[in-house]
Amino acid sequence: MSTRLGSKIINIPDFPKKGIQFKDLSTLFSDSAAFQEAIDLLSHRYITKKIDAVVSIEARGFIVGAALAYKLGTGLIIARKPAKLPRKTVSISYALEYGTDSIEIHEDAIRPGMKILLVDDLLATGGTVSAALKLLKTMGADIVECCFLVELTALNGRGKVKEEGVFSLIQFDD
């Protein structure tokens, strides 16, 4: 873990509900040197991988994904919550602790065989990224890896997506 970068993230206890240790990444994003360092470190990992596009997950994943796509010289494809994209979409539903949710991608965004880097800001339980992976695979994408700025290791989200490869720059065990 990058201790210096991890120190830029503030822990907010009991947010949004009791027992949750919320990691506020906005403090890292607002520190220009730390944000640049984080994106540079991530981009160095993928610069030689010949990635066709970065797919980023709503909402904070857009911040990391857009900066990373720019550094890699690739396109950016966004995975959004339902009814947020204006054209025809492909979607997948997934289970939450209490109910279900869905994510969508424009149906023409992925061509079969595209080399995709799947990016989100934080890996927790892995439910959202697992759903995004399934959706991308049904669209014919070739997943290079799942990339996260932060991983909450105690929640074992990595276990849901490890077959695709997982990289996180910063890890917290609480």
**What type of residue is 116?**
I
User: What tokens does 95 get?
Assistant: 């289970």
Q: What is the 3-state secondary structure (H, E, C) of 92-159?
A: EEEEECCEEEEEEEECCCCCCCCEEEEEEEEECCCHHHHHHHHHHHHCCCEEEEEEEEEEEHHHCCHH
Burial status of residue 6 (CB atoms within 10 A of its CB: 0-12, 13-18, 19 or more): middle
90: left (phi over 0), alpha (psi -120 to 50) or beta: beta
How far apart, in Å, do the first and last CA atoms of the chain sit? Answer: 14
Active site residues: 60, 97
